[in-house]
Structure 1
């Protein structure tokens, strides 16, 4: 079987990971490959932000603030604030939009950034790391944007939670997609 096809067929989201994580050199290598996605006009309309250690705690505080639960439900706010601690490395995926691009609409720039996120998650999985792409209702909240230092022309698409795959992780294949039900041919 072809390597890319095999990697796509065995990829699974891993929601519970160990404390191991790729170092910066490995992350840069994989990100360099992920950056080869289709990119109309070569705008490179994306960037990623690595969050480790205390940066994850600051994100948790921003998520709690965005939820508005701090006063009404402190336990709920604390639970939300702990979510970024579920993995040793979070990779924030940011769409960097060029609003005045006559050739490339913003939705297409977002699609390129999402393509980088997906390909990076596939490459991380293939390299043996556990990864899951997470979003949520507070992804676009101003407090969360501020925690990431986003500029006005940038939008957070979510986070790749990355860590080691637990030993007991079963690399079962997911139920195959019924491709025939998703393919339409125009005559």
Structure 2
């Protein structure tokens, strides 16, 4: 069984180190048009993305350090983490009360869009890595992103150019058979 989609999924790799190039907003929106086609009970579109470039990454680093209660060398080290990529895409679940669709399901849709976006970015030749951490949902981090009530940060896609020779042809096998069963 071979298809371009399956091959792209098998080729996908997280890129912990990326170069300074990054897609522009128009390319991100084009990719989101496709990524946003995930299964979405009641078509709520419970997601949005926020691009962080330039100084916005510094403000995020400061918010992370403040959320952790760190200053000095440890705070500076944490504050520098958002500078690992030229573009961070904050993944935001936008949940609304709905009689058929609980908040967890709306968050799952947002995560699905983020994953599909990461696949599309990878397929387009960009390096991508989904990052989160213990302070992802801290109020100071939410405030830095300008999140409203009902919005929850799920993490960030770190996006940048791919360094030559840093991608492997294939990652470790998933071992899907050990994670699959059927009920009688």
Band of TM-score, shorter chain: over 0.9
Aligned length: 183
Instruction: Name the SS of the counterpart of 1:69 in structure 2.
Output: coil
Provide the residue aligned with 2:94 in structure 1: 96
Residues 163-182 of structure 1 mapped to structure 2, 5 A cutoff: 163-182=160-179
Instruction: Check conservation: 2:13, 2:167, Cα contact below 8 A.
Output: no
CA deviations on 1:116-171 (whole Å, 9 max, x unpaired) are: 01000000000000000000000010110000000121000000000000012133
Residue 136 of structure 2 aligns with which residue? Answer: 139
Q: Distance in 1 between matches of 2:172 and 2:166?
A: 17
CA distance in 1, matches of 2:156, 2:121: 13
Report what 2:84 is aligned to: 86
After TM superposition, list the pairs within 5 Å mapping 1:1-187 onto structure 2: 1-70=2-71, 74-98=72-96, 100-187=97-184
Deviations 1:44-92 (A, max 9, x none): 000000000011011011001001012xxx1000000000000000000
> How far apart, in 1, do the equivalents of 2:122 and 2:41 lie?
27
The runs of 4+ residues in structure 1 deviating greater than 4 Å are none
Q: Distance in 2 between matches of 1:79 and 1:152?
A: 30
CA distance in 1, matches of 2:125, 2:68: 34
Instruction: Work out the CA distance in 1 between the residues paired with 2:183 and 2:165.
Output: 46
Aligned counterparts of 1:166 and 1:180: Cα–Cα separation in 2: 33
Worse overlay, 165-174 or 29-38:
165-174
- The TM-score, its normalising length taken from structure 1, stands at 0.96
Provide structure 1 residue ranges, at least 5 long, that are not aligned to the other structure.
none
